[in-house]
C-alpha cells in the first residue's frame, strides 16, 4: 500500500503505466497535485520529529527491519521493476540486491558518521571546548528516474532516512509502482513511524509541486535539462539541491591490458539495461596497437547477445519510447560523419528494441560522442597513447564515471587520477556502484553533490558547531574592555608564530 496522500483526498485524475515491451497497461496511479504533495510534506514533517528524537541505534534497528522486509519481498519488488522498465527479472533482482547493500550500510554507519565530535581549538581559543554535530535537515524531497527506479533514488532515500530525515519521493511517471511498493514496505515494517517515507505519483507537475512544497532539500536524479528547471524552482526559496544527472562515460584501454577482460566488461557496461545506465560505457579510447583486436573482441561478444523480452535475453526493450529516436539520430549521424559500423547500424533500431551497435572511428564532434546516447551503442576510437586517451575522455561536458583497463593496478590508478570523473573503476566497469562506502556523483552536466558513503549521509544533514567556554581566557579578545596593550600583545604573538611557517 502506498502512503500516497491521494488515497485520503478525492482523486482528481489518474495515469496509466504501460509495459515497454508490449505496450499493455500495467496499473493506474493518482496524479498528485500541489495540494496532495504539500499535505504529504506537512505530514512527513510531523512524523520526522519523532524519528529525529529517537536514539540513532533505534533508527538503525527500524531501517534494518525495513531492509529485511525488502529482502523478503525481493521477488515482488524485482517483478514490479521488470514490469515497469522492461528489464530482465535477473537484472531487476540485482538492482534490489545492490539496494539492500546500500540500505544496510547507511543504517549501520549513520551513528558513527554523524555523531557529536570534539575538534581541536586554536591559539586564542584554548579556553573553549569545540564540537560539531550533524543534524537532520527535516523533510527531503527525492525525484527519481526510471532506469534504476529502486537503486538510484534509494541512494538518497535510504541515506536521508538514516540521517534522521523524512522523505517524500516522486518516482518517474514510468515507474511509480516501484515507489509505491517501497513506501508500503516501510509502513508495514515500521508501522510506528508510518508516513516517514511517502510516495507521491505523477509526472513533471508533481515533481514541480514537490520542489515548491517546502522540503528542506531536494535530491534530483534525471537529465541535466530537467535538473536546471527544478534547480531554478529551488533557487527561489534557497532550498538546497542535489543533482545526479547523466553521463558519457569513457573507458581507457592501454596496450598491455587484458583485452578479453576489457571487452567483456565494455560489452556489459555498454549494453546491459539496454545501455540505459547513467554511468554506462559510451566511449572507449584504445591505444592504436590494440585497437583493432579490441574492436573485434567487443563486436564478437556483442553479436552473441540476444535482445528481447524472453527470460534468457541479455537485455530488454528501451524503457522510454522517445529515447529510441535519440539513439537512431546518434547512430545515423555518426555513420554519415564517417564512422565505421563494426556491428549493427540504423537497422538495429527496431522500437521498442535496439540490438547492439558497435562503432569505431567516430568523429569526436558527432552527437554519438558528445551527447548522452542512453542506448545499447558503444564507440571505440583509437588514440596514439594514454595522454591522448585522457585528453579525449576529459573533453566531455559530462563527468560522471570512467574506467581504465591496464596490466598494472598501480598504473591504472595513476591514470584514474588524471580523469575528470566522480568515480573511476580500474580493470572493471561500474565497480564503484556496488561499494556503499564510496560516494557517487559527478560534475559539469553530470550534476553536483554526492550520494552514498559518508558524504552521502552528511549531505542530508546540516552541521551545527558549538563552543563551550571552560574558563576565562588569559587574552579575551571578544570584549570592549580588553586593554589596548593586551590586544597589541596578542597581535605580536600571532605575527611571531605565523611567520615561522
Which residues are marked as active site? 244, 278
CA dist 182 and 202 (Å) reads: 16
Instruction: List the interface residues with ligand NAD, window 111-150 (CB under 6 A).
Output: 143-148
For residues 375 and 399, is the Cβ–Cβ distance under 8 A?
Answer: no
Instruction: List the interface residues with ligand NAD, window 276-295 (CB under 6 A).
Output: 278
CB of 185 to ligand NAD, least distance (A): 20
Rounded alpha-carbon distances, angstroms, from residue 300 to 30, 294, 303, 304, 417: 46, 10, 5, 7, 31
Does 273 participate in binding ligand NAD (rule CB under 6 A)?
no
Does 222 participate in binding ligand NAD (rule CB under 6 A)?
yes
Nearer to ligand NAD, 149 or 412 (CB): 149
Q: Which of 54, 89, 94, 203 binds ligand NAD (CB under 6 A)?
A: 203
CB of 484 to ligand NAD, least distance (A): 57
CA dist 54 and 61 (Å) reads: 11
User: Among candidates 182, 41, 5, 56, which has minimal Cα distance to 461?
Assistant: 56
DSSP H helices, 176-285, are 176-189, 204-211, 224-236, 259-271
Q: Which of 185, 245, 299, 302 binds ligand NAD (CB under 6 A)?
A: 245
* Segment interacting with ligand NAD, rule: CB under 6 A, options 41-49, 73-81, 204-212, 267-275: 204-212
Q: Which residue is nearest to ligand NAD (CB)?
A: 207
Q: Is 168 exposed, middle or buried (0-12, 13-18, 19+ CB in 10 A)?
A: buried
Q: Which of 372, 381, 424, 433 binds ligand NAD (CB under 6 A)?
A: 372
Q: 185: which residues sit within 8 A by CB, 6+ positions away?
A: 66, 69, 70, 73, 77
Does 269 participate in binding ligand NAD (rule CB under 6 A)?
no
Q: Which of 19, 128, 223, 486 binds ligand NAD (CB under 6 A)?
A: 223
Does 423 participate in binding ligand NAD (rule CB under 6 A)?
no
End-to-end CA distance of the chain: 63
CB of 233 to ligand NAD, least distance (A): 7
* Segment interacting with ligand NAD, rule: CB under 6 A, options 199-207, 266-274, 330-338, 348-356: 199-207
Nearer to ligand NAD, 147 or 425 (CB): 147
Rounded alpha-carbon distances, angstroms, from residue 259 to 283, 379, 433: 16, 16, 23
Question: In this structure, how many other beta carbons lie within 10 angstroms of the beta carbon of residue 79?
Answer: 16
CA dist 28 and 46 (Å) reads: 29
Nearer to ligand NAD, 183 or 263 (CB): 183
Q: Is 107 exposed, middle or buried (0-12, 13-18, 19+ CB in 10 A)?
A: buried
Nearer to ligand NAD, 148 or 268 (CB): 148
Query: Interface with ligand NAD by CB under 6 A: which residues?
Result: 143-148, 152, 170, 172-173, 203-204, 207-208, 211, 221-223, 226, 229-230, 244-247, 278, 320, 372, 374, 400
Amino acid at each position: 500500500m502506498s502512503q500516497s496522500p491521494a488515497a485520503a483526498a478525492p482523486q482528481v485524475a489518474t495515469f496509466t503505466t504501460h509495459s515497454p515491451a508490449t505496450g499493455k497497461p500495467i496499473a493506474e496511479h493518482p496524479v498528485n497535485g500541489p495540494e496532495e504533495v504539500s499535505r504529504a510534506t506537512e505530514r512527513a514533517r510531523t512524523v520526522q520529529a519523532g524519528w529525529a528524537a529517537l536514539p540513532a541505534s533505534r533508527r538503525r534497528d527500524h531501517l534494518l527491519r525495513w531492509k529485511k522486509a525488502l529482502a523478503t519481498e525481493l521477488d515482488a519488488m524485482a517483478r514490479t521493476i521488470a514490469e515497469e522498465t522492461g528489464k530482465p527479472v535477473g537484472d531487476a533482482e540485482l538492482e534490489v540486491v545492490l539496494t539492500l547493500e546500500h540500505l544496510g550500510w547507511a543504517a549501520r554507519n549513520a551513528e558513527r558518521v554523524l555523531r557529536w565530535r570534539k575538534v581541536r581549538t586554536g591559539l586564542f581559543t584554548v579556553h573553549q571546548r569545540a564540537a560539531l554535530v550533524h543534524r537532520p535537515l527535516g523533510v527531503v524531497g527525492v525525484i527519481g528516474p526510471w532506469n534504476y527506479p529502486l537503486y538510484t533514488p534509494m541512494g538518497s532515500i535510504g541515506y536521508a532516512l538514516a540521517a534522521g530525515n523524512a522523505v517524500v519521493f516522486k518516482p518517474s511517471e514510468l515507474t511509480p509502482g516501484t515507489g509505491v511498493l517501497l513506501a508500503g514496505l516501510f509502513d508495514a515494517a515500521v508501522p510506528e513511524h508510518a508516513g516517514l517515507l511517502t510516495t507521491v505519483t505523477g509526472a513533471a507537475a508533481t515533481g514541480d509541486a514537490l520542489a515548491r512544497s517546502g522540503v528542506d532539500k531536494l535530491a534530483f536524479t534525471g537529465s541535466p535539462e530537467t535538473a536546471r528547471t527544478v534547480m531554478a524552482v529551488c533557487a527561489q526559496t534557497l532550498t538546497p539541491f542535489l543533482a545526479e544527472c547523466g553521463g558519457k562515460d569513457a573507458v581507457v584501454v592501454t596496450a598491455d591490458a587484458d583485452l578479453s577482460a576489457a571487452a567483456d566488461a565494455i560489452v556489459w557496461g555498454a549494453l546491459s539495461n539496454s545501455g540505459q545506465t547513467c554511468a554506462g560505457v559510451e566511449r572507449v579510447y584504445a591505444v592504436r596497437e590494440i585497437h583493432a583486436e579490441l574492436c573485434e573482441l567487443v563486436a564478437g561478444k556483442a553479436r552473441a547477445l540476444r535482445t528481447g523480452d524472453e527470460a534468457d535475453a541479455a537485455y530488454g526493450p528501451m524503457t522510454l519510447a522517445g529515447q529510441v529516436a535519440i539513439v537512431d539520430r546518434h547512430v545515423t549521424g555518426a555513420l554519415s560523419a564517417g564512422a565505421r559500423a563494426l556491428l549493427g547500424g540504423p537497422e538495429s533500431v527496431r522500437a521498442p528494441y535496439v540490438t547492439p551497435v558497435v562503432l569505431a572511428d567516430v568523429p569526436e564532434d558527432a552527437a554519438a560522442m558528445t551527447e548522452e546516447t542512453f542506448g545499447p551503442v558503444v564507440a571505440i576510437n583509437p588514440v596514439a597513447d594514454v595522454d591522448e586517451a585522457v585528453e579525449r575522455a576529459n573533453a566531455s561536458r559530462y563527468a560522471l564515471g570512467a574506467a581504465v583497463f591496464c596490466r598494472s593496478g598501480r598504473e591504472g590508478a595513476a591514470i584514474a587520477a588524471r580523469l575528470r570523473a566522480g568515480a573511476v573503476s580500474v580493470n572493471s566497469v561500474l565497480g564503484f556502484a556496488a561499494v556503499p562506502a564510496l560516494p557517487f556523483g559527478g560534475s559539469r552536466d553530470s550534476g553536483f553533490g554526492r550520494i552514498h558513503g559518508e558524504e552521502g549521509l552528511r549531505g542530508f544533514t546540516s552541521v551545527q558547531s558549538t563552543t563551550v567556554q571552560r574558563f576565562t581566557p588569559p587574552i579575551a579578545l571578544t570584549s570592549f574592555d580588553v586593554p589596548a596593550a593586551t590586544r597589541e600583545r596578542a597581535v605580536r604573538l600571532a605575527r611571531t608564530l605565523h611567520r615561522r611557517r
